[in-house]
Structure 1
Amino acid sequence: MTTAARTTLDPAQLRELIDSGRTPRLLDVRTPAEFETAHIPGAYNVPLDLLKEHRAELRGHLDEDVVLICHSGARAAQAERTLAGVGLPNVKVLTGGMVAWRGAAGPVTEGAPRWDLERQVRLVAGAIVLASVVASLFVPGAEWIAGVIGAGLTAAALSNTCTLGRLFSKLPYNRNASCDLDIIVGQLSDASPAGPRS
């Protein structure tokens, strides 16, 4: 028995589809704050947590080719597995996410700059490690906090998931009204896959 491998699309292939007028439905699974900072023109913001929670409802509005986008590809791969679980065909992951898209000089709709989720996680994890090492000079055993953070980061890398990132995605800084399921379904229902969207 063989299992189908995840289908990926590199930035050049996606650019070719867009330029030829065969734009797939672009779903950006980053947080609304990340999406507002910069996204591929025509993309729809469907944050990963919302997609996982409401995959069955969203599945009914995604019958054409879909390309999933995130910062570097990890969250998009999770979204692909989620949509595969509800039988959605023709789903691809943009290899390297927005990092690769920008690196290939793909067009981007820019907004107010905000820190992406991965940068927020690095800041907080690094600050906790630094603070616990300094605190260990005065409080015996405080260095174990750094060990716990290190173990968590190792587990996150091995599982390709991040609990701290999931928690941060729920903070008001990373959310806004576009996280509402009804708004997202309305956007997906009202516009054609190739229709312009800023």
Structure 2
Amino acid sequence: MPGTITPDELIGLKRSGRIIDLIDVRTPGEYESVHAEGARLVPLATLDPARVWGERQGGPDDPLYIICQSGGRSAKACSQFEAAGLGPVVNVTGGTLAWEAAGLPVVRGGSKVLPLDRQVRIVIGGFIAVCGALGALVNPVFAWLAAAGGAGLVFAGVTNICPLAMTLSRMPWNQTRTTSNLESSSCAVTSTTS
């Protein structure tokens, strides 16, 4: 099981002189909008644990710290490193939201991209509302589509796998001008909701 650390504890280690290799596994758009100072982007959707591990900073026993929006995607990334036999990896609890709430240094970009979990809620909520209205006004068959949307949410909640989030993470508004450079560099990574 991967270790965990709070943003305050991580900053304490950094201030004590330890080398901190912090990986942000959110989408490029989320990262460009705001990220923890010193974090480098490796999207979960394209994560290659062996490649990232080989390029990490610090010594062989120094952990790799993983952060996302709130802790869910970073936990998945930590599991991928462990499944590959690589570690130690440490999940930053609470993610970028907790980092920012603690008043720790962040870098803000020009883009204002909604976090991936909010995008999923907007798409599914809109889909269910439209299908429900069409079911009531046009044809009851549309109500079954609304039920399918609800079933998809249940599936995502139970399995912690969200195909919609994976699809949305690849949409143009979640990419940045540096995304193509990332994919061709040695720091490519992956995505789902957090």
TM-score (norm 1): 0.84
1:93 is the counterpart of 2:91: yes
Alignment of 1:44-193 (within 5 A): 44-51=40-47, 54-62=48-56, 63=60, 64-112=62-110, 113-137=112-136, 138-176=138-176, 177-178=178-179, 180-185=182-187
Tell me by how many angstroms 1:167 deviates. Answer: 0.5
User: Which sections of structure 1, spanning at least 5 residues, go unmatched?
Assistant: 187-198
Tell me by how many angstroms 1:184 deviates. Answer: 4.4
Quick one: distance in 2 between partners of 1:157 and 1:6?
Answer: 21
State the Cα deviation string for residues 137-181 of structure 1 (Å, max 9, x = none): 121121111211111111111222211100011112112333534
Moved more, 30-39 or 7-16: 7-16
User: Which sections of structure 2, spanning at least 5 residues, go unmatched?
Assistant: 189-194
Quick one: distance in 1 between partners of 2:99 and 2:187?
Answer: 26
Tell me by how many angstroms 1:120 deviates. Answer: 0.9
For residue 6 of structure 2, what is the aligned residue in structure 1?
10
Asked if 2 retains the 8 angstrom alpha-carbon contact of 1:11 and 1:100, the reply is yes
Over the aligned positions, Cα root-mean-square deviation in angstroms equals: 1.7
Asked if 2 retains the 8 angstrom alpha-carbon contact of 1:55 and 1:86, the reply is yes
Matched residue pairs, number? 180
State the Cα deviation string for residues 53-77 of structure 1 (Å, max 9, x = none): x333223113542111111111111
Q: Percent identity?
A: 36
For residue 189 of structure 1, what is the aligned residue in structure 2?
none
Which of residues 37, 40, 51 is equivalent to 2:36?
A: 40
TM-score (norm 2): 0.86
Quick one: distance in 1 between partners of 2:187 and 2:69?
Answer: 23
Tell me by how many angstroms 1:96 deviates. Answer: 1.2
